A and B are shown apart, each in its own frame.
Chain A
Amino acid sequence: MDRLRRAFLAPGVVTLSLLFVAPLAIILLYSFQSRGVYGGVAPEFTGDNYSRIADGLYGAIFLRTFVLAGVATVGCLLLGFPLALFISRAGKRRNLYLQLVMLPFWSSFLVRTYAWMVLLRDTGLINTALTGLGLIREPLPLLYNDGAVFVGLVYGYLPFVVLPLYATLERLDKSLTEAAADLGASPWQTLIRVIVPLCAPGFRAAAVLVFIPCLGAYLTPDLLGGGKTVMAGNLIQNQFTTARDWPFGSAVALVLMLLSLVLLVVWMRTQSEDAL
């Protein structure tokens, strides 16, 4: 009996071990080795790669990654909460609205990022429209900067935030809001003093859910940041390709992974608290 159950898991376990665990083990090994003269991996062992991360320059990159991810998360929460609120009050149309929110998320991420390039470039739609309306004379530099990356991240992960917030709002005890109204609170006051605090666990969970992918973002800063906005993901890619410094790239990759893992654990904790 037990052997059969194990047999069901076997293909999955083999695939995971071979194509997930083993690769991570290899880059763990590489992260302690040194770069060959022209690139690649040389067998000398060293802890240099990790101490280099603590170095001011790369520390700044991680800091910037955190800040951008954090700001994007806050943006998503601020923009997503009212939307989730609206949907939770929408009655029969709820599912339709939820589908509408998720729909863009399921189409190609690459295409969605590209769409913002088309909108934001100097000869893009926004600048053309503003110039056409006579509001500006020179095109605004909307693309290839941190702002564009911020917009791209929020756009990319907004749906990620709406669903859990909606779920939390759904589970709210309606009697509490009614009680507040009965006690004379205006809709605004009810919102700020009752609903939002009650949703705190939902905010925490949604925040972590968005923060993790933003932390590991690569395409968005690459296309929308013009290669000038270097987040951790871009640094890793760069080290494995043009810089040809696999050991250092491995170290950065593992540090990023560790951060994501820590956040995942935090998220799982918030989930179990929430369920209580």
Chain B
Amino acid sequence: MSRLLGLYAAAAFAFLHLPLLVLAVFSFNESRFTVWTGFSLKWFDAAFRDAQLAEATWNSLLIAFAATLASTIIGTLCAYGLWKRSSRAVSGTLYLSLVTPEIVMGVSLLAFFQWLFRYVGMHLGMHTVIAAHTMFCIAYVVIVVSARLRSMDASLEEAALDLGATEWTTFRRVTLPLIFPAVAAAGLLAFTISFDDYVITSMVAGVDSETLPMVVYALARRGANPVVNAISTLIVVGLGVLIAVSSKLQETR
């Protein structure tokens, strides 16, 4: 039976990885059709030359950086606060935000922003996207940082407090350095989630805030496009690196 299991596992792993591998392989295909005619970098070349893609990528990076910064800070503080004194309301709401379907979150944010802008006179743009991304990343940051806090030795904090440090100093000088790898890991996680988001972004984006997933989606809607294959490969590799680094950081030594 273990041989059967082994064979099955091989097939399952193939199922999990083959689609992306195929995509990657065909992004190097000379022809635009799914028949291999030769190795070529021309689709990558086309991707790099496209001005719309460049702008969208820049937007995605900017949004991801800003949202990561904001959500990591807010999330870490929140996780620490919850660790010190748990609050069912806050952790319940955080869990709820994880479980809420993205489309529901997207439309509710759209409705909120449109309502707000009747009184404030702004319109949808980079700021609304960044705000939305910050929102949905917080829960992930809290989870990662909380996991690390739970496995941390609380007596270290107590020792610092006994020695006369204030709570804030204790957090800043003792706890934060200890949990920093987890904070960094959470930040990387937030970055990948923000960079890849399509559903929520598409609802709250404005004229000047087209992101890379939005461009990829529009191209994908028109049917398979070899330039999309190339972009996809780049995205997968990029995100893969970030996640690898993130999980390395999360390993408790």
Contact call B135/A19, Cβ cutoff below 8 A: yes
Q: How many residues of B contact A (CB 8 A)?
A: 82
Contact call A1/B104, Cβ cutoff below 8 A: no
19 example contacts (A-B, Cβ-Cβ < 8 A) are as follows A5-B84, A7-B81, A11-B74, A11-B77, A20-B96, A20-B97, A23-B109, A86-B6, A101-B13, A106-B192, A108-B195, A111-B232, A112-B19, A125-B22, A155-B15, A212-B99, A223-B220, A240-B203, A253-B107
How many angstroms from the CA of A250 to the CA of B110 in the assembled complex?
11
Residues of B within 8 A of A85 (CB): 5
Chain A 76-110: CB-based contact to B (< 8 A → 1; otherwise 0): 00010011011101000000010111011011111
Chain A 37-59: CB-based contact to B (< 8 A → 1; otherwise 0): 00000000000000000000000
How many angstroms from the CA of A224 to the CA of B192 in the assembled complex?
23
Chain A interface main SS type: helix
Chain B 94-128: CB-based contact to A (< 8 A → 1; otherwise 0): 11110111111111111110010000000000000
- Nearest to B8 among chain A residues (CB) is A82
- State the Cβ distance, B136 to closest chain A Cβ, in Å: 9
- Nearest to B89 among chain A residues (CB) is A13
Chain B 32-48: CB-based contact to A (< 8 A → 1; otherwise 0): 01110000000000000
- Decide if A276 is an interface residue (CB 8 Å cutoff): no
Besides A115-B19, A261-B99, 16 other A-B contacts (C-beta < 8 A): A8-B84, A9-B87, A12-B77, A12-B138, A16-B93, A23-B105, A82-B8, A111-B20, A158-B15, A218-B101, A240-B107, A240-B203, A257-B100, A260-B101, A263-B99, A264-B99
Partner of A8, one of B80, B105, B111: B80
- Residues on A lying within 8 angstroms of B by beta carbon are 1, 4-9, 11-13, 15-16, 19-24, 26-27, 30, 79, 82-83, 85-87, 89, 97, 99-101, 103-104, 106-119, 121, 123-125, 128, 155, 158-159, 187-188, 191, 212-213, 215-219, 223, 233, 236-237, 240, 246, 249-250, 253-254, 256-257, 260-261, 263-264
Contact call B20/A112, Cβ cutoff below 8 A: yes
A19 with B203: in contact, given A4-B168, A26-B111, A114-B216 (CB under 8 Å)?
no
Most buried by B among A86, A223, A264: A86
Residues of B within 8 A of A7 (CB): 81
Partner of A216, one of B17, B103, B239: B103
How many angstroms from the CA of A218 to the CA of B100 in the assembled complex?
12
- Nearest to A114 among chain B residues (CB) is B220
- State the Cβ distance, B230 to closest chain A Cβ, in Å: 11
- Decide if B236 is an interface residue (CB 8 Å cutoff): yes
How many angstroms from the CA of A257 to the CA of B99 in the assembled complex?
8
Chain B 211-224: CB-based contact to A (< 8 A → 1; otherwise 0): 00100110011011
Contact call B81/A82, Cβ cutoff below 8 A: no
How many angstroms from the CA of A218 to the CA of B232 in the assembled complex?
20
Count the A-B residue pairs with Cβ separation under 8 angstroms: how many? 237
- Decide if B82 is an interface residue (CB 8 Å cutoff): yes
- State the Cβ distance, A44 to closest chain B Cβ, in Å: 17
- Decide if B131 is an interface residue (CB 8 Å cutoff): yes
A-B pairs, top 9 by smallest CB distance, nearest first, are A216-B101, A8-B81, A12-B78, A23-B108, A23-B112, A115-B19, A9-B81, A86-B9, A19-B135
- State the Cβ distance, B130 to closest chain A Cβ, in Å: 11
Contact call A89/B2, Cβ cutoff below 8 A: yes
Chain B interface main SS type: helix
- Nearest to A257 among chain B residues (CB) is B104
- Decide if B235 is an interface residue (CB 8 Å cutoff): yes
- State the Cβ distance, B140 to closest chain A Cβ, in Å: 12
Contact call A107/B20, Cβ cutoff below 8 A: yes
Contact call B221/A101, Cβ cutoff below 8 A: no
- Decide if B23 is an interface residue (CB 8 Å cutoff): yes
